[in-house]
Amino acid sequence: MLKQRVVTAVALLVFFLGALYFLPAIPWTMLTLLAILIGAWEWAGIAGYSASGRRFYLLLTLFLGLALLALGNGARSAMFAAATLFWLVPAGAWLIFQWRLNHAAAMAVLGWLLLLPTWLALGYLHEINPNLLLVVMMVVWIADSAAYFSGRRFGKNKLAPAISPGKTWEGVGGALAGVSAFSVGVVLMAGASWWIVLAFWGLAVLSIIGDLFESWMKRVAGIKDSGSILPGHGGVLDRIDGLIPTLPAAALCIACLDWGVLVK
Protein backbone atom coordinates (compact mmCIF):
# COMPACT_ATOMS: atom_id res chain seq x y z
CA MET A 1 0.00 0.00 0.00
CA LEU A 2 2.79 2.42 0.91
CA LYS A 3 4.63 1.61 -2.33
CA GLN A 4 1.46 2.26 -4.31
CA ARG A 5 0.95 5.59 -2.56
CA VAL A 6 4.53 6.66 -3.27
CA VAL A 7 4.38 5.65 -6.94
CA THR A 8 1.09 7.51 -7.43
CA ALA A 9 2.37 10.58 -5.58
CA VAL A 10 5.57 10.74 -7.65
CA ALA A 11 3.66 10.30 -10.91
CA LEU A 12 1.18 13.03 -9.94
CA LEU A 13 3.98 15.40 -8.94
CA VAL A 14 5.88 14.92 -12.21
CA PHE A 15 2.69 15.40 -14.23
CA PHE A 16 1.67 18.43 -12.20
CA LEU A 17 5.03 20.19 -12.48
CA GLY A 18 5.13 19.56 -16.22
CA ALA A 19 1.66 21.04 -16.64
CA LEU A 20 2.38 23.93 -14.28
CA TYR A 21 5.44 25.16 -16.13
CA PHE A 22 4.81 24.14 -19.72
CA LEU A 23 1.09 24.53 -20.34
CA PRO A 24 -0.21 27.91 -21.58
CA ALA A 25 -3.13 29.55 -19.81
CA ILE A 26 -6.02 27.98 -21.73
CA PRO A 27 -4.80 24.34 -21.61
CA TRP A 28 -3.96 24.82 -17.93
CA THR A 29 -7.47 26.13 -17.29
CA MET A 30 -9.05 23.18 -19.09
CA LEU A 31 -6.84 20.63 -17.31
CA THR A 32 -7.62 22.02 -13.87
CA LEU A 33 -11.29 22.21 -14.81
CA LEU A 34 -11.19 18.48 -15.54
CA ALA A 35 -9.77 17.84 -12.06
CA ILE A 36 -12.48 20.00 -10.48
CA LEU A 37 -15.19 18.18 -12.44
CA ILE A 38 -13.90 14.87 -11.09
CA GLY A 39 -14.09 16.45 -7.63
CA ALA A 40 -17.66 17.54 -8.38
CA TRP A 41 -18.56 13.97 -9.35
CA GLU A 42 -17.12 12.76 -6.05
CA TRP A 43 -18.94 15.49 -4.13
CA ALA A 44 -22.21 14.41 -5.73
CA GLY A 45 -21.50 10.94 -4.38
CA ILE A 46 -20.92 12.35 -0.90
CA ALA A 47 -24.21 14.23 -1.26
CA GLY A 48 -25.96 10.94 -2.01
CA TYR A 49 -27.19 11.82 -5.51
CA SER A 50 -28.37 9.12 -7.87
CA ALA A 51 -26.35 8.27 -10.99
CA SER A 52 -28.47 10.61 -13.12
CA GLY A 53 -28.29 13.26 -10.40
CA ARG A 54 -24.49 13.04 -10.38
CA ARG A 55 -24.36 13.50 -14.16
CA PHE A 56 -26.70 16.49 -13.96
CA TYR A 57 -24.59 18.02 -11.17
CA LEU A 58 -21.48 17.54 -13.29
CA LEU A 59 -23.06 19.40 -16.22
CA LEU A 60 -24.27 22.21 -13.98
CA THR A 61 -20.79 22.56 -12.47
CA LEU A 62 -19.26 22.78 -15.93
CA PHE A 63 -21.79 25.42 -16.99
CA LEU A 64 -21.34 27.50 -13.85
CA GLY A 65 -17.55 27.31 -14.06
CA LEU A 66 -17.47 28.52 -17.66
CA ALA A 67 -20.04 31.22 -16.86
CA LEU A 68 -17.91 32.53 -13.97
CA LEU A 69 -14.86 32.51 -16.21
CA ALA A 70 -16.72 34.52 -18.83
CA LEU A 71 -17.91 37.07 -16.25
CA GLY A 72 -14.31 38.06 -15.57
CA ASN A 73 -12.37 39.50 -12.65
CA GLY A 74 -15.32 40.81 -10.63
CA ALA A 75 -17.03 37.43 -10.41
CA ARG A 76 -13.72 35.74 -9.73
CA SER A 77 -12.89 38.04 -6.82
CA ALA A 78 -16.41 37.66 -5.41
CA MET A 79 -15.99 33.88 -5.41
CA PHE A 80 -12.63 34.18 -3.65
CA ALA A 81 -14.22 36.38 -0.98
CA ALA A 82 -17.24 34.12 -0.51
CA ALA A 83 -15.09 31.01 -0.17
CA THR A 84 -12.66 32.66 2.25
CA LEU A 85 -15.51 33.97 4.39
CA PHE A 86 -16.98 30.47 4.55
CA TRP A 87 -13.68 28.94 5.72
CA LEU A 88 -13.03 31.67 8.27
CA VAL A 89 -16.41 31.49 10.03
CA PRO A 90 -19.07 28.87 9.15
CA ALA A 91 -16.65 26.00 8.47
CA GLY A 92 -15.21 26.14 11.97
CA ALA A 93 -18.66 26.23 13.55
CA TRP A 94 -19.70 23.38 11.26
CA LEU A 95 -16.94 21.21 12.67
CA ILE A 96 -17.42 22.26 16.30
CA PHE A 97 -21.15 21.52 16.28
CA GLN A 98 -20.82 18.67 13.76
CA TRP A 99 -23.66 19.86 11.57
CA ARG A 100 -25.27 17.56 9.03
CA LEU A 101 -26.64 18.89 5.77
CA ASN A 102 -29.31 16.63 4.31
CA HIS A 103 -30.84 18.99 1.73
CA ALA A 104 -29.86 18.07 -1.83
CA ALA A 105 -29.94 21.62 -3.21
CA ALA A 106 -27.94 22.98 -0.28
CA MET A 107 -25.32 20.29 -0.79
CA ALA A 108 -25.09 21.28 -4.44
CA VAL A 109 -24.49 24.93 -3.57
CA LEU A 110 -21.96 23.99 -0.91
CA GLY A 111 -20.05 21.89 -3.43
CA TRP A 112 -19.87 24.81 -5.85
CA LEU A 113 -18.69 27.10 -3.06
CA LEU A 114 -15.88 24.68 -2.31
CA LEU A 115 -14.81 23.70 -5.81
CA LEU A 116 -15.36 26.62 -8.18
CA PRO A 117 -13.30 29.21 -6.25
CA THR A 118 -10.51 26.61 -6.02
CA TRP A 119 -10.52 26.23 -9.80
CA LEU A 120 -10.57 29.98 -10.38
CA ALA A 121 -7.70 30.42 -7.92
CA LEU A 122 -5.64 27.81 -9.76
CA GLY A 123 -6.01 29.85 -12.93
CA TYR A 124 -5.47 33.23 -11.27
CA LEU A 125 -2.30 32.29 -9.36
CA HIS A 126 -0.89 30.47 -12.38
CA GLU A 127 -1.55 33.57 -14.47
CA ILE A 128 0.42 35.74 -12.04
CA ASN A 129 3.34 33.35 -11.69
CA PRO A 130 3.54 29.53 -11.66
CA ASN A 131 6.15 29.80 -8.90
CA LEU A 132 3.64 31.62 -6.72
CA LEU A 133 1.06 28.87 -7.17
CA LEU A 134 3.67 26.21 -6.42
CA VAL A 135 4.76 27.94 -3.21
CA VAL A 136 1.17 28.18 -1.94
CA MET A 137 0.60 24.51 -2.69
CA MET A 138 3.91 23.58 -1.06
CA VAL A 139 2.73 25.20 2.17
CA VAL A 140 -0.21 22.79 2.21
CA TRP A 141 1.89 19.76 1.27
CA ILE A 142 4.53 20.54 3.89
CA ALA A 143 1.89 21.14 6.57
CA ASP A 144 0.19 17.85 5.72
CA SER A 145 3.42 15.81 5.67
CA ALA A 146 4.81 17.40 8.85
CA ALA A 147 1.50 16.84 10.65
CA TYR A 148 1.48 13.19 9.61
CA PHE A 149 5.01 12.39 10.75
CA SER A 150 4.94 14.45 13.94
CA GLY A 151 1.54 13.00 14.80
CA ARG A 152 2.79 9.46 14.35
CA ARG A 153 5.90 10.13 16.44
CA PHE A 154 4.56 12.35 19.20
CA GLY A 155 0.77 12.30 18.90
CA LYS A 156 -1.15 11.79 22.13
CA ASN A 157 -3.81 14.48 22.32
CA LYS A 158 -6.60 14.02 19.77
CA LEU A 159 -7.53 17.07 17.72
CA ALA A 160 -11.04 16.03 16.70
CA PRO A 161 -11.63 12.36 17.60
CA ALA A 162 -15.25 12.33 16.44
CA ILE A 163 -14.23 13.62 13.00
CA SER A 164 -10.76 12.27 12.27
CA PRO A 165 -9.38 10.08 15.08
CA GLY A 166 -5.85 10.00 13.66
CA LYS A 167 -5.24 13.74 13.88
CA THR A 168 -3.57 15.16 17.01
CA TRP A 169 -2.58 18.53 18.42
CA GLU A 170 1.02 17.38 18.20
CA GLY A 171 0.44 16.95 14.48
CA VAL A 172 -0.81 20.53 14.29
CA GLY A 173 2.33 21.68 16.07
CA GLY A 174 4.46 19.72 13.62
CA ALA A 175 2.59 21.27 10.70
CA LEU A 176 3.22 24.80 11.98
CA ALA A 177 6.87 23.97 12.67
CA GLY A 178 7.36 22.60 9.16
CA VAL A 179 5.66 25.59 7.58
CA SER A 180 7.72 27.94 9.75
CA ALA A 181 10.95 26.37 8.49
CA PHE A 182 9.71 26.60 4.91
CA SER A 183 8.67 30.24 5.30
CA VAL A 184 12.06 31.18 6.75
CA GLY A 185 13.65 29.53 3.73
CA VAL A 186 11.43 31.55 1.39
CA VAL A 187 12.38 34.76 3.22
CA LEU A 188 16.09 34.05 3.06
CA MET A 189 16.25 32.62 -0.47
CA ALA A 190 13.61 34.66 -2.30
CA GLY A 191 13.87 37.95 -0.46
CA ALA A 192 10.30 37.81 0.81
CA SER A 193 9.07 39.89 3.71
CA TRP A 194 8.92 38.33 7.16
CA TRP A 195 5.16 38.86 6.97
CA ILE A 196 5.16 35.76 4.82
CA VAL A 197 5.62 33.67 7.98
CA LEU A 198 2.24 34.78 9.35
CA ALA A 199 0.62 34.34 5.94
CA PHE A 200 1.90 30.77 5.67
CA TRP A 201 0.74 29.98 9.22
CA GLY A 202 -2.74 31.15 8.23
CA LEU A 203 -2.70 28.96 5.13
CA ALA A 204 -1.53 25.97 7.18
CA VAL A 205 -4.42 26.41 9.63
CA LEU A 206 -6.90 26.70 6.77
CA SER A 207 -5.51 23.53 5.21
CA ILE A 208 -6.10 21.64 8.46
CA ILE A 209 -9.68 22.93 8.60
CA GLY A 210 -10.20 21.84 4.99
CA ASP A 211 -8.88 18.37 5.77
CA LEU A 212 -11.16 18.04 8.80
CA PHE A 213 -14.16 19.36 6.89
CA GLU A 214 -13.82 16.79 4.12
CA SER A 215 -13.29 14.06 6.72
CA TRP A 216 -16.50 15.07 8.46
CA MET A 217 -18.53 15.18 5.25
CA LYS A 218 -17.27 11.69 4.34
CA ARG A 219 -18.05 10.42 7.83
CA VAL A 220 -21.61 11.74 7.54
CA ALA A 221 -21.89 10.04 4.13
CA GLY A 222 -20.53 6.79 5.58
CA ILE A 223 -17.57 6.48 3.19
CA LYS A 224 -13.82 6.24 3.72
CA ASP A 225 -12.57 7.85 0.49
CA SER A 226 -14.22 10.33 -1.84
CA GLY A 227 -13.31 8.14 -4.83
CA SER A 228 -10.85 5.60 -6.16
CA ILE A 229 -9.31 7.30 -9.17
CA LEU A 230 -5.90 7.70 -7.49
CA PRO A 231 -4.42 4.33 -6.47
CA GLY A 232 -3.41 4.35 -2.82
CA HIS A 233 -4.80 7.84 -2.28
CA GLY A 234 -8.53 7.63 -2.92
CA GLY A 235 -10.23 10.37 -4.87
CA VAL A 236 -9.39 13.86 -6.07
CA LEU A 237 -11.12 15.46 -3.09
CA ASP A 238 -8.96 13.36 -0.77
CA ARG A 239 -5.86 14.93 -2.35
CA ILE A 240 -7.03 18.54 -2.60
CA ASP A 241 -8.98 18.92 0.66
CA GLY A 242 -6.22 21.11 2.13
CA LEU A 243 -5.98 23.20 -1.05
CA ILE A 244 -9.71 23.96 -1.26
CA PRO A 245 -9.62 26.62 1.51
CA THR A 246 -6.06 27.84 0.96
CA LEU A 247 -5.99 28.60 -2.76
CA PRO A 248 -8.99 31.02 -2.77
CA ALA A 249 -7.69 32.69 0.41
CA ALA A 250 -4.24 33.16 -1.10
CA ALA A 251 -5.79 34.46 -4.32
CA LEU A 252 -7.97 36.92 -2.39
CA CYS A 253 -4.97 38.24 -0.47
CA ILE A 254 -2.95 38.68 -3.66
CA ALA A 255 -5.89 40.37 -5.39
CA CYS A 256 -6.55 42.78 -2.51
CA LEU A 257 -3.09 43.50 -1.14
CA ASP A 258 -0.06 45.08 -2.71
CA TRP A 259 2.22 42.15 -3.57
CA GLY A 260 5.07 44.33 -2.32
CA VAL A 261 3.80 43.78 1.23
CA LEU A 262 5.00 40.19 1.02
CA VAL A 263 7.87 40.47 -1.47
CA LYS A 264 10.58 43.06 -1.10
> 33-51, pLDDT tens digit by residue?
999 999 999 999 999 999 9
Arithmetic mean of pLDDT, 231-255: 92
What is the total count of domains within the chain? 1
How many degrees, rounded to 5, is the angle at CA 246 between CA 57 and CA 199?
A: 165
Closest to 81 measured CA to CA, from 258, 253, 252, 261: 252
| Residue 138 pLDDT grade (very low, low, confident, very high; cuts 50, 70, 90) | very high
Q: Using one digit for the tens of pLDDT, what is the confidence trace for 8-17?
A: 888 899 999 9
Arithmetic mean of pLDDT, 50-57: 97
Predicted confidence (pLDDT) at residue 246 exceeds the cutoff of 80: yes
User: What is the spatial distance between Cα 62 and Cα 114, in angstroms, rounded to a whole number?
Assistant: 14
| Residue 255 pLDDT grade (very low, low, confident, very high; cuts 50, 70, 90) | confident
Cβ neighbourhood burial of 188 (10 Å; 0-12, 13-18, 19+)? exposed
- How does the average pLDDT of the chain come out, rounded? 92
User: What is the spatial distance between Cα 191 and Cα 262, in angstroms, rounded to a whole number?
Assistant: 9
Expressed as residue numbers, the domain containing 156 is 2-261
Bridge pairing between strands 164-168 and 158-160: antiparallel
For residue 261, the model assigns a pLDDT of: 43
User: What is the spatial distance between Cα 186 and Cα 180, in angstroms, rounded to a whole number?
Assistant: 10
For residue 264, the model assigns a pLDDT of: 47
| Residue 74 pLDDT grade (very low, low, confident, very high; cuts 50, 70, 90) | very high
- Who wins on pLDDT, 194 or 60? 60
Predicted confidence (pLDDT) at residue 130 exceeds the cutoff of 70: yes
Cβ neighbourhood burial of 219 (10 Å; 0-12, 13-18, 19+)? middle
Arithmetic mean of pLDDT, 127-140: 95
